[in-house]
């Protein structure tokens, strides 16, 4: 026996249609690539998105076809989320920071037919174009409707195309499981891994993220101004292009200007109340604020994800009256975790509250989390057991585009190692591939790294496993010192000693000039492991012979 409710599909376009109806005059503010400000409202945005859909239809694109975007956080990019997928097409949000050979690989894999670019990605597009096989043309998004001089073939002006269309276009209705956005994970090895969000999953994720529970600072939507500093090509800018209109929030888009000074200027001018970014960006912001002697009085909440936020960053933000909500998430499972404090935390003394702030959020309705051991057996949520984190639910990826399914167990393996607490909070311990397995126990490389960077001389630190005849693996600490800083191996060990368990102490320390990094700014540990393969005594330490195993930068 079925229910007798309307069979209305969950489509992302209904989010914008809602905002245009009930919050029609609420603003979308966006920084153009030239630094100037563009300003319009949801009802005007709806009209433009409908014109865009009509235009894409006129280009001969049909349901399921992929349209790529090589763009930053502008109102043009915002419009693609609705104008492309509203028409039943799939928006492939491409990360322009990837290496060119990776870009060619994923654009080919996605079979993008058109790619939307702007003045900032034009040069990149020109160097990719000769290697692409599926692309039929390029849409150039610029405030003007003119076209740049370019080697690209078949370039159309976005604004010109919109002007040629009528705004009374009607979006088709279709299965809510239809693909809406295609987003490749930033993994740099192996096959490209494309996550395909459905309309259903985006609407549900946006609903989950809109629950009062999520950030604890949400008020009636129109009192908020939300700014995704997270790029729109990273898991849909953490869903803000959807959650803002869904809640009638003002949306503030920083364009491609991610310099702390420009971000702070925009936050102050537009009275941004909630912003989302990775820890590195927040670090830049607090450092700028300190040097400029400024505050951000309107900003009430910092949503922090991507990697764990270090304690000094949280302390700094909270001292400025900006509440920090860490949320675990990944391209394959965005928006399932709440950033508000767990039950009882508000009643704890400040120091203990702080320990909770250091966790990566807490479970929310809609995304089930569990931890399992190496054999796949579920472990208790006791705050002690450590296991591989798995996720399940309607906003979790079941597989990757044109790849064999990887979730045969019904659960997504997140690649993270975590503790789960009985109050629902999540404590990420390490990446599964980075954890060091020593004598049957697990050592967290991230925990040692966090302890190492607390030393005033240390700029960056990476901990990897090195083979050990008795313990199987032991930790090696690879550190980059700050310019001019000096530290001995013994000083470093003395520093670590009170901060980590005795049996976690690195067997060896190495000081290097720099760490190998991925395009998205993470340490390339695979390369470190190659460099330092073998047991702890067999590799060459790049130390200054005059000072022993110690380095003067």
- Alpha carbons 364 and 168: distance in angstroms, whole number: 39
Query: According to the binding rule CB under 8 A, does residue 179 interact with its own copies?
Result: yes
Options 175, 259, 374, 441; binder of its own copies; rule CB under 8 A = 175
> Of the candidates 8, 17, 11, which has an alpha carbon nearest to the alpha carbon of residue 49?
17
Q: Are 415 and 391 in contact (CB under 8 A)?
A: no
Which phi and psi angles does 522 have, rounded to 5°?
-100, 150
> Of the candidates 387, 339, 332, which has an alpha carbon nearest to the alpha carbon of residue 208?
339
Query: According to the binding rule CB under 8 A, does residue 246 interact with its own copies?
Result: yes
Which residue, 95 or 390, has its beta carbon nearer to its own copies? 390
**Helix/strand/coil for 34:** coil
Q: Are 77 and 232 in contact (CB under 8 A)?
A: yes
Run of H or E including 417: strand 412-420
**Residue carrying the six token digits 């005795």:** 502
Q: In sequence order, which residues have a C-beta less than 8 Å from that of residue 371 and are 6 or more positions away?
A: 378, 379, 381, 385, 386, 387, 388, 389, 390, 418, 419, 420
Least distance (Å) from its own copies to the CB of residue 529? 31
Options 330, 363, 458, 510; binder of its own copies; rule CB under 8 A = 363
Query: According to the binding rule CB under 8 A, does residue 26 interact with its own copies?
Result: yes
C-beta neighbour count of 19 within 10 angstroms: 26
Which residue, 23 or 76, has its beta carbon nearer to its own copies? 23
- Which residues, numbered 206-245, are part of the site for its own copies (CB under 8 A)? 207-208, 210-214, 216, 218-223
Query: According to the binding rule CB under 8 A, does residue 342 interact with its own copies?
Result: yes
Residues in the chain: 553
Q: Which span sits near its own copies by CB under 8 A: 67-75, 170-178, 251-259, 289-297?
A: 170-178
C-beta neighbour count of 352 within 10 angstroms: 10
- Which residues, numbered 439-478, are part of the site for its own copies (CB under 8 A)? none
C-beta neighbour count of 529 within 10 angstroms: 15
Q: What is the per-residue binding string for its own copies in 38-67, x denoting contact by CB under 8 A?
A: -------------------------xx---
Which residue, 18 or 471, has its beta carbon nearer to its own copies? 18
- Which residues, numbered 85-114, are part of the site for its own copies (CB under 8 A)? 90
Least distance (Å) from its own copies to the CB of residue 203? 9
Q: Is 236 left (phi over 0), alpha (psi -120 to 50) or beta?
A: left
Options 143, 160, 172, 399; binder of its own copies; rule CB under 8 A = 399
Options 263, 395, 461, 466; binder of its own copies; rule CB under 8 A = 395
Which residue, 90 or 229, has its beta carbon nearer to its own copies? 90
Catalytic site positions: 185, 332, 437, 442
Least distance (Å) from its own copies to the CB of residue 95? 19
User: By CB under 8 A, how many residues form the interface with its own copies?
Assistant: 82
Query: According to the binding rule CB under 8 A, does residue 280 interact with its own copies?
Result: no
């Amino acid at each position: 026996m079925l229910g007798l409710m309307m069979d209305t599909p969950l489509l992302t376009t209904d989010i914008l249609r809602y905002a245009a109806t009930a919050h029609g005059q609420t603003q979308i503010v966006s920084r153009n690539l030239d630094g100037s400000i563009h300003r319009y409202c949801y009802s005007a945005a709806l009209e433009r998105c409908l014109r865009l859909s009509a235009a894409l239809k006129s280009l001969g694109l049909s349901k399921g076809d992929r349209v790529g975007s090589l763009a930053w956080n502008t109102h043009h990019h915002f419009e693609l989320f609705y104008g492309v997928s509203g028409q039943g097409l799939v928006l492939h949000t491409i990360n322009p920071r990837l290496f060119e050979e990776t870009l060619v690989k994923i654009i080919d894999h996605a079979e993008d037919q058109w790619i939307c670019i702007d003045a900032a990605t034009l040069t990149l597009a020109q160097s990719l174009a000769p290697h692409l096989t599926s692309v039929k043309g390029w849409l150039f998004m610029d405030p003007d409707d003119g076209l740049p001089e370019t080697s690209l073939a078949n370039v159309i002006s976005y604004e010109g195309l919109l002007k040629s269309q009528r705004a009374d276009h009607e979006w088709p209705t279709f299965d809510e499981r239809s693909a809406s956005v295609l987003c490749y994970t930033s993994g740099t090895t192996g096959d490209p891994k494309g996550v395909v969000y459905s309309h259903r999953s985006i609407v549900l994720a946006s609903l989950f993220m809109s629950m009062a529970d999520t950030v604890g600072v949400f008020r009636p939507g129109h009192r908020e101004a939300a700014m995704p500093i997270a790029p729109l090509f990273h898991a849909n800018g953490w869903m803000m292009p959807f959650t803002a209109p869904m809640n009638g929030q003002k949306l503030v888009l920083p364009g491609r200007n991610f310099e702390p000074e420009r971000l702070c200027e925009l936050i102050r001018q537009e009275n941004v109340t909630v912003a989302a970014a990775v820890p590195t960006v927040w670090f830049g912001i607090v450092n700028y604020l300190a040097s400029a002697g400024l505050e951000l009085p309107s900003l009430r909440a910092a949503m922090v994800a991507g990697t764990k936020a270090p304690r000094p960053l949280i302390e700094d933000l909270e001292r400025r009256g900006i509440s920090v909500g860490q949320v675990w998430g990944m391209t394959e499972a965005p928006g399932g975790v709440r950033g508000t404090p767990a039950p009882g935390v508000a009643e704890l003394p400040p120091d203990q509250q702080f320990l909770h702030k250091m966790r990566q959020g807490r479970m929310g309705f809609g995304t089930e989390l569990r931890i399992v051991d190496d054999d796949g057996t579920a472990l208790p949520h006791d705050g002690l057991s450590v296991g591989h984190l798995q996720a399940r639910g309607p906003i979790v990826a079941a597989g990757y585009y044109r790849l064999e399914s990887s979730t045969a167990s019904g659960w997504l393996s997140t690649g993270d190692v975590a503790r789960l607490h009985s109050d629902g909070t999540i404590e990420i311990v390490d990446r599964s591939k980075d954890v060091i397995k020593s004598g049957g126990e697990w050592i967290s490389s991230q925990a040692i790294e966090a302890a190492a960077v607390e030393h005033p001389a240390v700029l960056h630190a990476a901990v990897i496993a090195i083979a050990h005849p008795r313990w199987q693996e032991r930790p090696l600490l690879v550190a980059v010192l700050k310019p001019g800083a000096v530290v001995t191996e013994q000083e470093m060990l003395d520093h670590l000693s009170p901060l980590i368990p005795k049996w976690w102490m690195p067997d060896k320390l190495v000081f290097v000039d720099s760490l190998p990094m991925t395009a998205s700014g993470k340490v390339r540990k695979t390369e470190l492991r190659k460099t330092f393969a073998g047991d702890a005594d067999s590799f060459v330490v790049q130390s200054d012979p005059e000072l022993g195993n110690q380095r003067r930068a």
